[in-house]
Amino acid sequence: MDRSLFLLLLLSGLLRTTSGVSRQYNYINVRMSWPEAQSYCREKYTDLATVDTMGDVNRLVNIVDAGYSGSVWIGLKRGTQKRWAWSTGENTLAQYSVWSAGEPKNQNECGYLAYGVWISFSCSTGIHFMCYNESTGYVWVKINKKWSDAQSYCRQMYSDLPAIHNSEELNQIKSAVSFNAWVWIGLFQDYWGWSDKWSLFFRNWAEGQPSQSSGSGDCVGMSRTNSGKWAQYSCDLQRPFICYGGPKSPSRSFHYMNDSKTWQDAQSYCRARFTDLATADTMSDVSLLVNTVDAGYRGSVWIGLHNGTEYRWVWSMGSLPQYSNWNPGEPNGDGGCVRSFNGSWYDESCSIVLPVVCFNDSTGFIITETAMTWRDAQSYCRQHHTDLASISSAEQQNLISNNESSLWIGLILDSWEWSERWNLSFRNWAEGQPSQSSGSGDCVGMSTTDSGKWAQYSCDLQHHFICHGDDRLIKKQIVRLKLSCNGKCTLNDPSLQTAILNQISEKLKIMGLDSDSKISWIKGEGEEVFHQEINRTANSNNECNRP
């Protein structure tokens, strides 16, 4: 696919959702399969569009090209595990629920309220329902509708089917309806998941969607003409799509310095001339760093990582934890790595061997039963998938809680920090690194031969180093020259042009120009550097000038 032919309509708006997350949406008027669209969005923005409210749906509809009447890909895709959720998108069932004894039943996918408790039922059955309005509260609608029609009615006339977060809200609904009445509430069972692993469950399915028949498609498209309703399609179909997130800035500009300095001197040099010593967030960055180093150099090079004073728990994939699930009394100092067992986390020595939970961008969590140390597990997951698993919600924890053995997850205790205070925590340590022994060194060098692995060294050692950022000393200037010649003008002779450049270069060096500076000719029309200027008042004088 020739991306130079892409017509990209990047129509964006700043969106605020009920979760407090602001998203910038971008419509891409290029037809791709769902996996291709996902890869494109992750490369250029953040991910395929995630949607939390009807307000988000309306904004998505409004940014699609008005002349397009088909569906566009969003970030929803069929998962492997069904979960109960609220129509409003909230995920609060772990905090509060009042299911009747023996409920919910797996064969039923919607929930109603009767006799003060929740009961699962077939979504296609027509019964009364409750709606919720942010201004007026709960409304009992005494019309028989199936669950999806009740949801559409509540969203059109009020806000949504109600979510029940606590006993006070349950009592308010009970006071608005007969005790023995059956009324739909916002409960539904769902097995679809967002591409960015977002944990909210807002859905906006079209009539008859999602289908229960096999082969009906695993990826979700949004209709521009049907009020933004969603339907499932084969992921291989070619559709325009919507990304979210601001455009990603280009990859860092890395600069290899073929000069040996201590870590502190290298840091000072990088800060004076560029931005700072090199920072790496991903294995792609590591590959760029390795390729930046001169091919003939075999030593280590300084990067911007050094030992700090504060220990903190970080994820292998590079982020800080916003969610935790420690067992009571943990972490208790047993070790610097974390295992998950029976739904809870325990700190453990990184050197013991356990099965592993990896994460793959395409398929999610993958449990590997082969036992290995934490470092070996990290290397394995990065080689065969994306990385060790990061867990950011109770739903994600539930996906691995049924395993009967302890599993390594991606959490590790870390005291290292970047020179520029970059808060991501990606690490690429070599075997046995970092060392726990005293005097092993507080600064980090990258090996040029061991796949870019990192090791700690004394900061006083002399190494080559890598900076990142724009070179503040590089300036490009174009100068127009006008030269005269006697007789026949031969300024486009390459040997003469080289001689002129050498004379100019020597003069500039005498004036103090950096010896690394380069000067060159720019070719103009007809691939010539100079063209002849005719002096119309004195035709006997021929002048050649630089265009």
Q: What is the pLDDT of residues 240-297, one digit of tens each?
A: 999 998 776 556 689 999 999 999 999 999 988 888 999 988 888 888 899 999 988 8
For residues 224 and 342, membership in a common domain is answered with no
Q: Which of 442, 470, 498 is the last residue of a domain?
A: 470
Min mean pLDDT across 222-231, 358-367, 370-379 is at: 358-367
Q: State the total domains in the chain.
A: 4
- Mean pLDDT over 15-38 rounds to 72
Question: Which pLDDT does position 446 carry in this prediction?
Answer: 95
Least confident interval from 44-48, 391-395, 447-451, 522-526: 522-526
Average pLDDT, the chain: 82
Instruction: Please give the residue range of the domain that contains residue 411.
Output: 250-470
Quote the pLDDT of residue 65.
87
Instruction: Please give the Cα distance from 205 to 525 (Å, whole number).
Output: 60
Tens-place pLDDT, residues 149-204: 999 899 889 989 999 989 999 999 999 999 889 999 999 988 888 888 777 788 99
**Together in a domain, 240 and 219:** yes
User: CB under 8 Å, gap of 24 or more: what pairs does 164-173 form?
Assistant: 164/96, 164/98, 165/90, 165/92, 165/95, 165/96, 166/96, 167/96, 170/98, 170/116, 172/137, 172/138, 173/113, 173/130, 173/138
pLDDT at 416 exceeding the cut of 90:
no
Reduced to 3 states (helix: H, G, I; strand: E, B; else coil), residue 376 is helix
Question: How do residues 440-466 score in pLDDT, each as one tens digit?
Answer: 789 999 998 888 999 999 999 999 999
* 425 has pLDDT over 50: yes
pLDDT value of residue 302: 96
Q: How many residues does the chain have?
A: 547
Q: What is the CATH number of the domain that holds 7?
A: 3.10.100.10
Statement to judge: residues 254 and 375 lie in one domain: yes
What does 122-164 look like in DSSP terms, one character per residue?
-TTS-EEEEEEETTTEEEEEEEEE-HHHHHHHHHHHSSBSPP-
Residue labelled with tokens 């982020």: 319
Q: Are residues 465 and 356 in the same domain?
A: yes
Three-state SS at 431: coil
CA atoms within 13 A on the CB side of 389: 25
Residues 152 and 232 in one domain: no
CA distance linking residue 130 with residue 118, whole number of Å: 13
Is residue 475 domain-resident?
no
CB-CB contact of 216 with 234 (8 Å): no
Residue 508: what pLDDT?
66
| Contacts of residue 117, Cβ cutoff 8 Å, sequence gap at least 6 | 98, 99, 100, 103
461 and 356 assigned to the same domain: yes
Does 121 share its domain with 149? Answer: yes
- Domain assignment present for residue 296? The answer is yes
At position 398, the amino acid (one-letter code) is N
544 versus 496: the higher-pLDDT residue is 496
Same-domain status, 440 and 487: no
Residue closest to 25 by CA, chosen among 242, 176, 238 = 242
Same domain, yes or no: 257 and 349: yes
Looking at the domain assignment, is residue 519 inside a domain? yes
Same domain, 140 and 231: no
308 has pLDDT over 90: no
Would 76 be classed as within a structural domain?
yes
Least trusted range by pLDDT, from 276-290, 320-334, 337-351, 475-489: 475-489
**In-domain check, residue 325:** yes
User: Is the pLDDT score of 329 beyond 60?
Assistant: yes
pTM here is 0.44
Tell me if 476 is assigned to some domain: no
Q: Is the pLDDT of residue 61 over 90?
A: yes
Query: Is the residue at 477 inside a domain?
Result: no
| Residues above pLDDT 90, as percent of the chain | 37
Among residues 208, 229, 244, which one ends one of the domains? 244
Distance CA 241, CA 104 (A): 36
What's the whole-number mean pLDDT along residues 428-432?
87
- What CA dihedral angle connects 218, 282, 313 and 305, to 10 degrees? -170
Rounded average pLDDT over 58-74: 91
Domain shared by 137 and 70, yes or no: no
- What's the rounded mean pLDDT across residues 34-40? 88
33-38: Cβ within 8 A, 24+ apart: 33/235, 33/236, 33/237, 33/238, 34/73, 34/77, 34/219, 34/235, 34/236, 34/237, 34/239, 34/241, 35/235, 35/362, 37/73, 37/239, 37/241, 37/243, 38/75, 38/195
Taking the C-alpha atoms of residue 240 and residue 529, their distance in angstroms, rounded to an integer, is: 46
**Residues 90 and 73 occupy one common structural domain:** no
* In a domain? residue 439: yes
Does position 215 have pLDDT exceeding 70, yes or no?
A: no
pLDDT band at 136 (very low <50, low <70, confident <90, very high): confident
